Chain A
Amino acid sequence: MTATAERPRTTIFKRPSSTTGWWSWLTTVDHKKIGIMYGYAAFFFFIVGGLEALMLRIQLSQANAEFLTAGAYNAMFTMHATTMIFLFIMPTSAAFMNYLIPLMIGARDVAFPRLNALSWWIFLFGGIFLYSTFVFGTSVPPIGPDGIAGNIPAGGGPGSFNWLADSPDGGWFGYQPNAGPFYSAGTAMDYWALGLQILGLASLVSAVNFIVTIFNMRAKGMRLLRMPVFVWMSTVVAFLLLFSIPIIAVALFMVTFDRQFGTLFFAPVGGGDPILWQHLFWLFGHPEVYILILPAMGIVSEVLPVFSRKPLFGYSAVVFAGAAIAFLGFGVWAHHMFASGVTPVAQAAFGLATMTIAIPTGIKIFNWMGTMWGGRLRMTTPMLFAVGFIAMFTIGGLSGVTHAVVPSDWQQTDTYYIVAHLHYVLFGGSVFGLFAGLYYWFPKLTGKVMSERLGKVNFWLMFIGFNTTFAPMHWLGLQGMVRRTWKYPPEAGLEPWNIVVTIGAFIIAAGVAVFMYNWHHSRRHGEDSGLDPWDARTVEWTTPNPPPEYNFAVSPVISKLDHFWHLKYDQDDEGRAVRKDDADQIVAELEHVGLNPPEPIHLPNPSYFPLIMAAGFPLMFYGIIYHTTAWGKALIAIGAVISLAAVIGWAIEPIEEPHDEPGEDMSEEVQAGV
């Protein structure tokens, strides 16, 4: 022990110490456990969002269908998008980042383990808060400017499932004034605005945490340009979050104030400007697109080299292209608003800026192809998903260029052509990338490999289903099918393709079901993965599968990019890889060297306070929605007291190692290898 212990004189609670059992999951600060919880929660929301999508597709499979009422339909598309973006893709990326960043940079945990737990719990409570709208939320007819209210017939009109209508129905984009106090009266959109606010807070906290982790916690020799591309892309995403979340926070605060406290930010009646909302929303919203895609790009950049048995082609170009995409991503927001009547000068400028994004995107795609070229491609499931990613993302990117041609976008915007484009980017892109990652790192997580046979069934079902669903949407959009449409008449000529699309959606669902079975089955009965099932390149594979709580018995010292590969392989004169050492042997030798430093490894103890502190937020936010009532005010007070108490408890928790991670405790000593 090099550090002098400093025990505070009073502690109200003893810090929890158990690292097993369900209780340990509630109090854990282990980045791996937090990552796993993120992953499962996100997948749960993926299923919910998927069911919502299926309901939409059933409604649209026929002209003038009467499956959902108009209110239920609007609620379903709003919740589908909100769920998939904020409750599925973002937290799944967060799951990967949590689990992998410390392992990939050779660290034993993140910089602020308790903050890490805090952002996870805030995320979870934010998701629950948002979905509690189905229980508590209300949606009432619009109230016109002259105070006359619209009418909804009993049962909500033609269609069923009208109970679903009592949830946010103003679109995930919440365009004002439709999502404002008059036209979305009722509390549902308050749940939406405040729910996103909570989720944004979770993202912001983890962004700070990851940036500090990556800048300060890298293993010796892990210089910035030796970091795996996934870590690089996570860095970029963290900065994107850091600068875009505050903007949406401001915009959501304005909406909440408009709805709850009578401000006039977006109310045209009082002079408010609805277009301001769009500027603020898309100033967040476009970086958000890259927040969704860059982690997947990082995953693909890890998977491709491993299964091509070649290093990533143009590593630094791929890294800088990622950063360039993010940087440019802040300057193109108005391309979501080409039809809004912004000046032609602005339209031209944003159109050109949008085109420039195609250049770094192209660099990435070509470099991935360069990685595959001349390799020895092993077509495992992760590789299939990664190649599928490149192919599908290319289509999405190319249709994106057609939007950058501004006049062309005037025809395409707000049609199913956009729906097709965004799903090619976010499903064919992000989701395929994330699935590649799930298959690739499953052995790391469990010590087993997922069934390849089922994996291939999974891939082909999803790939075929995906294209059956979204390729025809291009055509539907160009045939004039507008977005967010509950109905279309038979004479619009849209029915045949819509049937195809709906069939495709169910094929995707089948693919996801196969994945779930595969995951569940392989966890129990999968083949043992050994230490290095894929002949991997990066340093996270030098730990046992699954890794011990302290990650590395021996802190790695990194000498090269693709450190692990270079431990295993030499190069001959032609530059071909020549095996020099076995993975098992390398890891065994590492174990043999023993602890580094040869002292007990100090890990932060579990803590109650992240959970407690996070629990205060939804209470306060419920209180804001019902602030006019006495119990609403009471809820605000109770929530604030709970959070404040947790802050105090957090601050006075026992502290033993001040120099390593001030504010973070390292009290229990875990003997490595025991």
Chain B
Amino acid sequence: MSDVAHDTPVSHHDEHESTGIDNRKLGMWVFLSSEFMFFGALIATYLLYSNRGGFEGTYPSEIYDIPFTSVSSFVLLMSSLTMVLAHHALSKGDQNGTRTWLFATAALGAVFLGGQVFEFTEFIVHYDMTLSTNPAASAFYLLTGFHGTHVAIGVIMLLSLWGISRRRGGLSEKQGMSLELVGLYWHFVDIIWIVIFTVVYLLSVPPA
């Protein structure tokens, strides 16, 4: 029955029809496409409310500190660069370099988070804009808060990889794949931030 099975053993790799992309990587791509919808819905909600006039209290767009947020956006953008460098170092087999860049990425992410905490505190304490001030404020906090949560999860994953690398003196091939996955995730979070920074911060003006 030659059309049923080969008489000779086939190697494991030929066993599947596949995209040729590693399962985990494909899974991450698929998951991230879902995340786009998640942030899409949040951004749309923010835009709806930030353009609607007549709310009581402060609109977030009235109190943005654009220079400050530009700096923290730049920090996050740089972390994407260090992420690429970490990946590059690993592909060259430079375990020490990988470790350094991983830590740098996590540190930059943490700095960004610190900036966000500072920003929220400013808004709440100085401008009295809380979750319950008006729907625009609610939408602002929910959107940036969820983004911040994503960054925080990324920082934890980066630090875990960094810790593993430190303890074992380097990352194995399989852990290299993990690094690639975290990298994908991290770049995604960065891209989303670029959109948020542009649409929510730069282009958003308080309604007349």
Contacts and interface: CB of A to CB of B under 8 A. Distances in A.
Interface in B1-49: 1, 3-7, 9-19, 21-24, 26-27, 30-31, 33-35, 37-38, 41-42, 45, 48-49
Contacts of A250: 38, 41-42, 45
A242 B30 contact: yes
A447 B31 CA distance: 37
A262 B30 contact: no
B37 to A, nearest CB: 4
A661 B174 CA distance: 10
Contact of B132 (A204, A207, A245, A262): A262
A263 B132 contact: yes
B4 A589 contact: yes
A658 interface: yes
A24 interface: no
Contacts of A217: 16, 18, 23
Nearest to A558: B17
Contacts of B30: 207-208, 211-212, 242
A207 B31 CA distance: 9
B67 interface: no
Given A2-B12, A211-B30, A589-B1, A263 B6 contact: no
Given A242-B33, A659-B12, A111 B27 contact: yes
B52 interface: yes
Given A220-B16, A254-B45, A596-B9, A663 B134 contact: no
Contact of B5 (A215, A283, A556): A556
A254 B42 CA distance: 9
Given A219-B15, A247-B41, A597-B12, A270 B27 contact: no
B55 interface: yes
In this complex, the interface size class of chain B, counting residues with CB under 8 Å from chain A, is 35 or more
Nearest to B7: A593
A49 B88 CA distance: 55
Nearest to B33: A242
A554 B27 contact: no
A220 B17 contact: yes
Given A270-B132, A659-B12, A567 B4 contact: yes
Contacts of A590: 1, 4-5
B172 interface: yes
A15 to B, nearest CB: 17
Contacts of A599: 9
Contact of A112 (B27, B38, B139): B27
A209 B27 contact: yes
Contacts of B5: 554-557, 590, 593, 596
Nearest to B136: A271
A223 interface: yes
Contacts of A211: 26, 30
A264 interface: yes
Contacts of B152: none
Q: Which of B11, B16, B56, B172 has the most CB of A within 10 A?
A: B16
Given A209-B27, A212-B27, A658-B173, A262 B131 contact: yes
B34 A246 contact: yes
A219 B14 CA distance: 9
A590 B2 CA distance: 10
Nearest to A657: B12
A253 interface: yes
Contact of A208 (B27, B54, B138): B27
A40 interface: no
B85 interface: no
Interface residues of A, number: 65
Interface in A249-272: 249-251, 253-254, 257, 261-265, 270-272
B27 A596 contact: no
Nearest to B167: A9
A156 interface: no
A118 to B, nearest CB: 13
B26 A216 contact: yes
Contact of A586 (B4, B15, B131): B4
A218 B15 CA distance: 8
A655 interface: yes
B142 interface: yes
A328 B135 CA distance: 31
A216 B18 contact: yes
A10 to B, nearest CB: 11
A242 B7 CA distance: 41
Contact of A596 (B10, B17, B54, B133): B10
B177 interface: yes
A204 B34 contact: yes
A472 to B, nearest CB: 39
Contacts of A243: 33-34, 37
A659 B174 CA distance: 8
B7 A254 contact: no
A496 interface: no
Contact of B135 (A6, A218, A271, A280): A271
A662 B15 contact: no
Interface in A213-255: 215-223, 242-247, 249-251, 253-254
B16 A218 contact: yes
A559 interface: yes
A246 B45 contact: no
Contacts of A222: 17
Contacts of A111: 23, 27
A150 interface: no
A220 B54 CA distance: 62
B174 A215 contact: no
B135 A246 contact: no
B48 A273 contact: yes
Interface string A587-611: 0011001001111000000000000
30 contacts: A2-B11, A6-B172, A112-B27, A208-B34, A212-B23, A212-B30, A215-B18, A216-B19, A220-B14, A220-B15, A247-B38, A250-B38, A250-B45, A264-B138, A270-B55, A270-B134, A271-B49, A271-B54, A271-B56, A272-B135, A273-B48, A276-B45, A283-B41, A554-B5, A557-B6, A590-B1, A597-B10, A597-B11, A599-B9, A663-B24
Given A276-B48, A662-B177, 6 more contacts: A2-B11, A215-B19, A254-B138, A264-B134, A593-B5, A658-B173
Interface of A: 2, 6, 107, 111-112, 204, 207-209, 211-212, 215-223, 242-247, 249-251, 253-254, 257, 261-265, 270-273, 276, 280, 283, 554-557, 559, 567, 586, 589-590, 593, 596-599, 655, 658-663
State the 7 A-B residue pairs at the shortest beta-carbon distance, nearest first.
Answer: A246-B38, A263-B138, A218-B17, A250-B41, A262-B132, A216-B18, A246-B37
